[in-house]
Amino acid sequence: MSAAVELVAGTFRLVPSRSAVTFSVKHLFGLGTVSGAVPVVSGVVEVSDGAARISAVLDAAAIDTGNKRRDKDLRSPKFLATEEFPTWEFTGAYSGVTIAGTLTAHGQPAACHLAVQRVERTGDRVDVVATTTVDRRAHGVTAAAA
């Protein structure tokens, strides 16, 4: 992990075109991997007294795995039900090592802890790379694999 980055007090907006949430999922008994992305709609980082609070909204209805048929199936009521739940929301707090928070997806909140891999600041830009594992069942998505 990169050296600690000094937190500068203020309110900062995520730039959707420069922000990404990507994923990979094992399927076919772990023999294959599907990768994709969920676009970031908006987000804010609020820093005060050396602590950071983060909130972000993701466009679940625009999930993209590079396969239109699979994406349509994922958006259906069988899986993500994006007509009813078009966005996912994350709120959390940054501790310097993790971002501990809550992800609300498919209308159901669940704890979500991101392990911060890298934080780099260049001028007024801060890049953060973090990873987590999301259990779809914690969000009420219980359908068998497509």
- Whole-number pLDDT of residue 131: 93
pLDDT at 146: 46
* pLDDT surpasses 70 at 1: no
What fold does the segment set 10-139 form as a domain?
Lipocalin (2.40.128)
Q: What is the mean pLDDT of residues 8-17?
A: 90
Count the helix, strand and coil residues of the chain and give each as a percent rounded to the nearest 5: 10, 50, 35
Burial level of 74, CB count in 10 A (0-12/13-18/19+)? Answer: buried
d(CA 100, CA 43): 16
Residue 62 scores a pLDDT above 90: yes
The 10 Å Cβ neighbour count of residue 57 is 19
Structure confidence at residue 43 as a pLDDT band (50, 70, 90): very high
Rounded percentage of the chain residues whose pLDDT exceeds 90: 66
CB 2 within 8 A of CB 129: no
Pairing of strands 108-122, 98-105: antiparallel
User: For 106-127, what is each residue's pLDDT tens digit?
Assistant: 999 999 999 999 888 888 788 8
